[in-house]
Amino acid sequence: MHTKIKEILELALANNASDIHFSMSVAPKIRVNGELIDVPNFSLDNPKLIGEMILSVLSDDQQKKLQVEREMDLSISLDESRFRVNMYYQQGEINCAMRVVTSNIPLIKDLNLPSIIESLIDYRQGFVLVTGPTGHGKSTTVAAMLNKINSSRKEHILTIEDPIEYVIKPDKSLISQREIGNDTLNFPSALKSALREDPNVVFVGEMRDLETITSALTIAETGHLLFSTLHTNSAAQTVDRIIDVFPEGSKEQVRVQMASVITAIVSQRLVPGIDGGRIPVVEVLVANNAVRNAIREGKSFMLDNIIQTGSDLGMVGLETSLARLVLGGKITEEVALSYSLRPTELQANLRNLKNK
């Protein structure tokens, strides 16, 4: 690894950065509390330096593969720290984005998430989805849930990731972590063999295509507890995204299948806090008869109302979560409005909670 890139990674870690960006002819940047800032005192006198730094983390074979495929996902380590890396070309020049993956998996209770999140690991079968924008803590939430199972149950936890982010050290459970490219060719191939590997719990890093989603639903349907992630903003949007992947003739069957296996959908994002740092805000849907009927009948638009009336099951809407953070002095009302999907509902929640 190039000495200069090592120094920048160390700087990112020292500043609790979440991401590092390398782009040709521009000073490297790190993302701190959601904002990109320049790496200080970085000289651009040598125009080839950025490219040399990026390529220094790759083996010869990886460099050849990148030349052909023009993009690549991998993970790298620096001492005890890990980074998820994406390399890509733009306007003919190589660029790189790195996500910092902390070495210690946090406890669920330390993530400031609703208590219902921890209870989701008590299920022995079903389908738990954690959704939200890129860089808003989905992988951390899932890793905390998997590690809680690892520390409390004697089971086989199988993860299929691209790339592996958090390395889970075996405790009471047996841990098998498979990385796309190194340990298996792709998600569909890994999922096809998953059932022959005797897992109790399966984590699919991301459901990207029809074949992967089909296999994931089958695993959940055959008595396993399945976790996965999607880049969607709400429970209703998540259900629609999964169903819409399938051809028209299959949608009804998939609705029935998903209704039978869904356990919960946790939609989260990280918002700037008043005291600095970022605070998780979540929407939680927990499957009950009303949820299953809405999915089965193709009425995902009803899920928002079901969440609003399901607080006794631990359900919570995004606007309610935002309102609670505003009234708790954690975030400003302006921040809450900027992250709200339904600002009018948020303002109504603020008025209602103030009057209680």
Residue 201, pLDDT score: 98
**Residues 120, 265: Cα–Cα separation, whole Å:** 10
**pLDDT at site 173:** 98
The pLDDT score that the predictor gives to residue 326 is 95
What does the block give as tokens for 339? 């992250």
Residue 146: C-alpha distances to residues 49, 177, 227, 293, 351 (Å): 40, 12, 9, 29, 38
CB 294 within 8 A of CB 306: yes
Spans of all domains in the chain:
3-101, 108-316
CATH of 3-101, one of 3.30.160.100, 3.30.310.50, 3.30.450.90, 3.40.50.300: 3.30.450.90
pLDDT at 348: 92
| Residue % of the chain over a pLDDT of 70 | 100
Is the pLDDT confidence value at 300 over 80?
A: yes
- Dihedral sign for Cα 168, 313, 285, 125, please: positive
Question: What is the residue-averaged pLDDT of the chain?
Answer: 93
pLDDT(38) > 90: yes
User: 108-316: what fold?
Assistant: Rossmann fold (3.40.50)
pLDDT digits (tens, 9 = 90+) for 141-154: 999 999 999 999 99
Query: Using CA atoms, how far apart are residues 184 and 115, in angstroms rounded to an integer?
Result: 35
pLDDT value for 90: 94
pTM above 0.75, yes or no: yes
Cβ burial, residue 170 (10 Å; 0-12/13-18/19+): exposed
Task: Report the run of H or E that residue 343 belongs to, with start and end.
Answer: helix 343-354
pLDDT for res 313: 94
Going by pLDDT thresholds of 50, 70 and 90, the confidence category of residue 232 is very high
